[in-house]
Amino acid sequence: MNDDLKATIAFLETVHPYDTLPKDELARVAGCFVRNEFAADTLVYQIGEPLAGIFLIKRGGVEVLDRNGGLVSLLAARNTFGERGLMRDGLAATTAHTREDSTILMLPAIEFRELIARFPSFERFFNRGRGQDHHTSDISTLKVADLIARKPLSCAPDTPVAEAARMMRDAQISSLGVTDGEKLVGILTVRDLANKVLAEGRSATTPVAKVMTAKPISLPPTALGTDILHIMLERKIGHLPIVEDGRFVGMITQTDLTRFQAVSSAVLVRDLAGATKVAEMAAVTARIPRLLVQLVGGNHAHEVVTRLITDIADTVTRRLLALAEAELGAAPVPYLWLACGSQGRQEQTGVSDQDNCMIIHNNATPDDMVYFAKMAKIVSDGLNECGYVYCPGDMMATADRWRVRQKLWRDYFQRWIAVPSNEAQMLASVMFDLRPIGGTVSLYQELQQETLDMAAKNSIFVAHMIANSLKHTPPLGLIRGFATIRSGEHRNHIDMKHNGVVPVADLARVYALQGRLTAANTRARLQGAEAAGIISTSGARDLIEAYDLIASMRLENQALLVRSGRKPDNFLSPTDLSDFERSHLRDAFVVVRTMQSALAHGKGAPG
């Protein structure tokens, strides 16, 4: 193997989804890439040209332009381009040229299509969002409101420049809005402080009004990203205030645009795959709230958003398992790490704790079990540091009862099904959402099918599971209203998790049990239940549409909280919704309540 091929393999190991390929396949694919060296400002391809393959930047930068010459993307190392045109009709849908001296690898079209056909990770990555004409992740077509990174910081015109400088330093920003009340009258940048204060020897007590840029050009929140790009490029400015009805509501900077390009699920997965320390991983997962805002702002379907966010949690977990093995040595016997809860269902949002367990091979010795206890602690502590906080119910692999040999897992499920106590119902509900994350998957596959067959045949257990699924109810009040939380921090809010998506997830779990369906994802379970005849076509369609609305509004509310500078949570105030939105949300809750009632009466759930 020559040095060039070794270098290409090493590079591809840091790029998703190539990092998912088996070693032999990765080496083969690496040998298929054609290396090209481009000088700055060189055309790579233009709109309408036949594409020979897809392009991967190894070094340098590329600008991608639309048919009107508008800037679509600024790409850097490890970014791919040209794939959409190749997958559509083989013709370039954009124009691409280098911004600086660049090394660009080209994978021939026939090899690219073979990877799409053979490897699900490639199909998911390159087909993400296709078929949904309403979605976008391009800066140019997103609304400005979805690009604002944080709440705006401002000062009054008479603020001393020294105080303004301290404000920028403490907030780690490069500009301030200057406001008279809420009205924007100017902006102050770090460059202004350097050029107009330090360079001219002005006093630290000089009022900001003396050195600010007065009456700066601005955009409304309803403008598009392309407007920002055009203004910044044409006027050679790096800060653009956002104003609504005269009020200063945000600031967009070149750093924000770069951050947007750098935050995607694929980029986060890539960065996690290359992390060698938990602190590095935590720095990556800290970008998840911003990813949530971008995905929601790009009008992605809720199941796409939660799937992409869950993929990040899966990557964190697998990376932590690898780090644990690097520290402790190779596992002495086969094991499997599994997620349950929202991660198990691939439904994580911007706020998630950790729910996990381990299945250990039956041949494990007591010393082996000590090894896995240490591994579980390393992984669970790492997840907590990365923002996946410890489960308050201790449903984690660090608990001795959830880190056991396969035969004991089999005993657990047999006991829960044979004697469905309240605890057994709760535990079975959680464990029916298990999904393998890392290790030997066969340890679970046989156990899963055995358990589903055993449970579906036990009518008493099914009846108890139905009763358990009805404990969470939609928040419906009297006379077309909502039953909101009555006291505490979230008074007059709806819990969009426990009274929103959880009732649907509980219904879907029962349908999966009745139909012996192996899917863990709620939407997939509902679709599977319809296909298996567990619920009627009309009932399934109504419930899926209701679930889509509830889950989407939950995500939109979380994104709104992030944009306003708060942590995302699951609590929504109905007063924040329009009459139209309130009406449709209530109708969705009515559908869920109706399906709960049908399940209770049609399947004989115990009282």
Q: What angle do CA 175, 176, 177 make, to 5 degrees?
A: 130
> Quick one: average pLDDT of 454-467?
88
Concatenating the DSSP letter of every residue in 74-100 gives EE-TT-EESHHHHHHTSB-SSEEEESS
Other CB atoms closer than 10 Å to residue 212's CB: what's the count? 24
pLDDT number for residue 127: 64
Q: Residue 201 is part of a domain; what is its CATH number?
A: 3.10.580.10
> Quick one: average pLDDT of 356-381?
97
The top-scoring range by mean pLDDT among 248-252, 306-310, 359-363, 583-587 is: 359-363
User: Are residues 243 and 214 located together in one domain of the fold?
Assistant: yes
Supply 591's token pair.
């559908």
Characterize the bridge pairing of strands 80-81 and 95-98.
Answer: unpaired
User: Are residues 34 and 155 located together in one domain of the fold?
Assistant: no
107: in domain: yes
Quote the percentage of the chain above a pLDDT of 70: 93
Q: Mean of the per-residue pLDDT values for the chain?
A: 87
User: Are residues 481 and 606 located together in one domain of the fold?
Assistant: yes
**What's the CA gap between 482 and 587, in Å, rounded?**
11
Q: How many DSSP H helices and E strands does the chain contain?
A: 23, 20
pLDDT number for residue 523: 92
Residue 209: pLDDT over 80:
yes
Query: Counting Cβ atoms within 10 Å, is residue 96 exposed (0-12), middle (13-18) or buried (19+)?
Result: buried
User: Are residues 503 and 427 located together in one domain of the fold?
Assistant: no
The model's confidence at residue 261, banded by pLDDT at 50, 70 and 90, is low
285: in domain: no
306: in domain: no
DSSP state of 332: S
**What's the CA gap between 519 and 530, in Å, rounded?**
13
The string over 532-568, giving b where at least 16 C-beta atoms fall within 10 Å of a residue's C-beta and e elsewhere, is eebbeeebbebbbebbbbbbbbbbebbbbbbbeeeeb
Supply 579's token pair.
């009459």
308: in domain: no
Of the listed ranges 16-25, 26-35, 161-170, 341-350, the one predicted with least confidence: 16-25
Let me know: does 417 contact 432? Beta carbons within 8 Å: no
Supply 168's token pair.
């920028």
Among candidate residues 453, 471, 503, the one where a domain is terminated: 453
Residue recorded with tokens 């029962």: 510
Q: Which residues pair with 224 in a beta bridge?
A: 143
292: in domain: no
**What's the CA gap between 113 and 14, in Å, rounded?**
21
Let me know: does 143 contact 299? Beta carbons within 8 Å: no
pLDDT number for residue 179: 95
User: Are residues 428 and 467 located together in one domain of the fold?
Assistant: no
> Quick one: average pLDDT of 8-20?
85
Q: Residue 583 is part of a domain; what is its CATH number?
A: 1.20.120
Residue 471: pLDDT over 60:
yes
Its domain, for residue 432, covers 313-453
**What's the CA gap between 509 and 429, in Å, rounded?**
8
User: Are residues 118 and 158 located together in one domain of the fold?
Assistant: no
> Quick one: average pLDDT of 405-414?
94
User: Are residues 254 and 148 located together in one domain of the fold?
Assistant: yes
Among candidate residues 430, 453, 476, the one where a domain is terminated: 453
> Quick one: average pLDDT of 174-192?
92
295: in domain: no
Let me know: does 360 contact 403? Beta carbons within 8 Å: yes
Q: Which residues pair with 329 in a beta bridge?
A: none
**What's the CA gap between 140 and 138, in Å, rounded?**
5
**What's the CA gap between 371 and 475, in Å, rounded?**
46
pLDDT number for residue 136: 42
390: in domain: yes
User: Are residues 337 and 446 located together in one domain of the fold?
Assistant: yes
pLDDT number for residue 260: 65
pLDDT number for residue 475: 94
pLDDT number for residue 540: 92
User: Are residues 322 and 439 located together in one domain of the fold?
Assistant: yes
The model's confidence at residue 185, banded by pLDDT at 50, 70 and 90, is very high
Among candidate residues 401, 420, 453, the one where a domain is terminated: 453
How many separate domains does the chain show? 4
Of the listed ranges 56-65, 416-425, 441-450, 464-473, the one predicted with least confidence: 416-425
User: Are residues 463 and 448 located together in one domain of the fold?
Assistant: no
**539-574: pLDDT as tens digits:** 999 999 999 999 999 999 999 898 888 889 999 999
**583-600: pLDDT as tens digits:** 899 999 999 999 999 998
Quote the percentage of the chain above a pLDDT of 90: 52
Q: Residue 341 is part of a domain; what is its CATH number?
A: 3.30.460.10
**Quick check: helix, strand or coil at residue 207?**
strand
Of the listed ranges 63-72, 296-305, 356-365, the one predicted with least confidence: 63-72
- Give whole-number Cα distances, 42 to 46, 54, 96, 331, in Å: 11, 17, 9, 51
255: in domain: yes
User: Are residues 466 and 501 located together in one domain of the fold?
Assistant: yes
User: Are residues 408 and 526 located together in one domain of the fold?
Assistant: no
